[in-house]
Amino acid sequence: MKRILVTGGAGFLGSHLCSRLLERGNFVTCLDNYFTGSVDNIARLRGNQNFAVIEQSVIDPVDVKFDEIFNLACPASPVHYQTDPIYTFKTSIVGTLNLLELASKTGAKILQASTSEIYGDPLIHPQTEAYWGNVNTMGVRSCYDEGKRGAETLMHDYHRTRGVNIRVMRIFNTFGPGMNQSDGRVVSNFIVQALKGQDITIFGDGNQTRSFCYRDDLIEGMMRLMDAPNEVNYPVNIGNPGEFTMRELAEIVLELTGSKSKMVFMPLPQDDPMQRCPDISRAREILGWEPKIPLREGLERTIEYFKSVI
Ligand code: NAD
Ligand code: UDP
């Protein structure tokens, strides 16, 4: 039985990861300060004798021995990570530093939940891991983008100088059941708006693109990356290469929900990336991984979930 730490384990992805790791017979500890996550997300796991919870911030040092650490702690929705940008930056940088210190001291293997946001507003398309990115250091998204870039740097420096066993996963937009109604990201916004008969808020002209990965596919890729051979200490993109404009996404959500909501167009937020699509050749080759759930099917499941909670 492996002892596994999941930071951000009470969030959307983290809580699902905890479930999957418990199903595999591990002892799982969720560490979370409930900044965007919640006790409700892990309520179903509380009765499991192989599940423990530490209520604290990763900004404070952690001193418990684990075999593996999945570092997911960080607000991920632009609305939330921009409410306190200094906190967001500290969570990424100081949090990752604390966990790397722990990994260095105890010999734990550590996976960092990095992001496609490290590519910024990309100038090459689709994005391969070799691309260095195009990020504004001064913009409203920088606290998240640069925080995650700095966290990647720390991972590689601890690997080079202290021999820490690292995995770096660049996650592209992921959605699914378990997202918070007030998460603020586009998929949950459009579905909740459609189900409530509210206007669908499209930012900009809706021609910007994103590539959406279903939660279960993403978590499968994350666990495969952690289990990959130790030589896989370089970044790996995990996402679904199916690319859609926000207008197309809105149209599909309206069709699948049968909603009569209208689309309204609002200003595009600063530095909003115009296109994003993962090149997943590396994940295919090294992990034998590729997504299985197409956007429509994932949306149908997510719509059913939101119908049950709103
Ligand atoms: P989420 O907001 O639902 O989960 C983040 C979790 O981290 C929450 O439970 C929150 O309370 C916790 N947290 C925040 N600050 C913390 C701190 N200082 N100490 C301890 N816990 C803290 O978001 P998510 O979508 O589940 O994202 C999980 C991780 O995956 C994040 O690191 C995010 O950057 C990364 N990621 C997600 C996506 C996506 O599309 N979902 C894309 C790229 C990267
Ligand atoms: N977006 C939108 N309406 C919303 C929320 C977001 O049109 O209600 C757009 C946003 O401007 C961006 C895309 O959808 O172009 C994805 O936004 P999200 O916040 O989900 O993720 P990120 O921008 O971090 O990829």
Judge if the beta carbon of residue 246 lies within 6 A of ligand 2. yes
Asked if residue 76 and residue 34 are part of one domain, the reply reads: yes
Complex ipTM tops 0.95:
yes
Judge if the beta carbon of residue 15 lies within 6 A of ligand 1. no
End-to-end C-alpha distance for the chain, whole angstroms = 38
Residue nearest (by alpha carbon) to ligand 1 atom 12: 8
Residue nearest (by alpha carbon) to ligand 2 atom 21: 185
Judge if the beta carbon of residue 202 lies within 6 A of ligand 2. yes
Taking the model in full, what pTM does it have? Answer: 0.98
Atom of ligand 1 nearest to the CA of 14: 26
Asked if residue 268 and residue 219 are part of one domain, the reply reads: no
**Mean of the per-residue pLDDT values of the chain:** 98
What's the mean pLDDT in 13-23? Answer: 98
Judge if the beta carbon of residue 34 lies within 6 A of ligand 1. yes
Q: Domain containing 111: what range? A: 3-174+212-238
Helix axes 246-257, 295-309, angle to 10 degrees: 60
Rounded to whole angstroms, the Cα distance separating 50 from 21 reads 10
Predicted local confidence at residue 189, as pLDDT: 98
In a domain, 283, yes or no: no
Cross-strand bridge partners of residue 28: 4, 51
Quick count: other Cβ atoms within 10 Å of Cβ 233? 16
Give the active site residues. 144
Asked if residue 263 and residue 118 are part of one domain, the reply reads: no
Asked if residue 205 and residue 128 are part of one domain, the reply reads: no
In a domain, 152, yes or no: yes
In a domain, 287, yes or no: no
Read off the CATH number of the domain in which 55 is found.
3.40.50.720
Asked if residue 56 and residue 44 are part of one domain, the reply reads: yes
Asked if residue 196 and residue 85 are part of one domain, the reply reads: no
Asked if residue 227 and residue 185 are part of one domain, the reply reads: no
In a domain, 228, yes or no: yes
Rounded to whole angstroms, the Cα distance separating 34 from 70 reads 17
Question: In sequence order, which residues have a C-beta less than 8 Å from that of residue 245 and are 6 or more positions away?
Answer: 206, 207, 208, 209
Q: Could you report the per-residue pLDDT of 156-177, keeping only the tens digit for each?
A: 999 999 999 999 999 999 999 9
Atom of ligand 1 nearest to the CA of 174: 40
CA nearest to 155, candidates 67, 71, 226, 239? 71
Judge contact between 131 and 96, C-beta under 8 A.
Answer: no
Judge if the beta carbon of residue 14 lies within 6 A of ligand 1. yes
Rounded to whole angstroms, the Cα distance separating 131 from 141 reads 19
Q: Could you report the per-residue pLDDT of 85-140, keeping only the tens digit for each?
A: 999 999 999 999 999 999 999 999 999 999 999 999 999 999 999 999 999 999 99
Q: Could you report the per-residue pLDDT of 209-226, keeping only the tens digit for each?
A: 999 999 999 999 999 999
DSSP structure string for 231-298: T--SEEEES---EEEHHHHHHHHHHHHT--PPEEEEPPPTT--S---B--HHHHHHH-----S-HHHH
Atom of ligand 1 nearest to the CA of 117: 43
In a domain, 82, yes or no: yes
CA nearest to 249, candidates 209, 205, 279? 209
Residue nearest (by alpha carbon) to ligand 2 atom 19: 185
Q: How many domains does the chain have?
A: 2
In a domain, 281, yes or no: no
Judge if the beta carbon of residue 33 lies within 6 A of ligand 1. yes
Atom of ligand 1 nearest to the CA of 171: 43
- Whole-number percent of the chain with pLDDT over 90: 100
In a domain, 230, yes or no: yes
Ligand 1 geometric centre to CA of 66 (Å): 20
Cross-strand bridge partners of residue 243: 211
Asked if residue 141 and residue 224 are part of one domain, the reply reads: yes
pLDDT band at 186 (very low <50, low <70, confident <90, very high): very high
In a domain, 154, yes or no: yes
Rounded to whole angstroms, the Cα distance separating 133 from 145 reads 10
Asked if residue 97 and residue 74 are part of one domain, the reply reads: yes
What's the mean pLDDT in 285-295? Answer: 98
Quick count: other Cβ atoms within 10 Å of Cβ 157? 13
Which of 82, 203, 247 is the pocket-test mutation for ligand 2 (most atoms within 8 Å of CB)? 203
pLDDT band at 29 (very low <50, low <70, confident <90, very high): very high
Read off the CATH number of the domain in which 249 is found.
3.90.25.10
Ligand 1 geometric centre to CA of 149 (Å): 15
Q: Which ligand is nearest to the CA of 237?
A: 1
Predicted local confidence at residue 111, as pLDDT: 99
Output the 3-class SS for 65-121.
CCCEEEECCCCCCHHHHCCCHHHHHHHHHHHHHHHHHHHHHHCCEEEEEEEHHHHEC
Asked if residue 102 and residue 153 are part of one domain, the reply reads: yes
Residue nearest (by alpha carbon) to ligand 1 atom 29: 72
Rounded to whole angstroms, the Cα distance separating 24 from 305 reads 24
- Among 222, 238, 254, where does a domain finish? 238
Asked if residue 137 and residue 203 are part of one domain, the reply reads: no
Judge if the beta carbon of residue 37 lies within 6 A of ligand 1. yes
CA nearest to 211, candidates 292, 126, 289, 290? 126
Rounded to whole angstroms, the Cα distance separating 131 from 118 reads 10
Residue nearest (by alpha carbon) to ligand 2 atom 17: 186
- Among 193, 220, 238, where does a domain finish? 238
Ligand 2 geometric centre to CA of 272 (Å): 8
Asked if residue 146 and residue 102 are part of one domain, the reply reads: yes
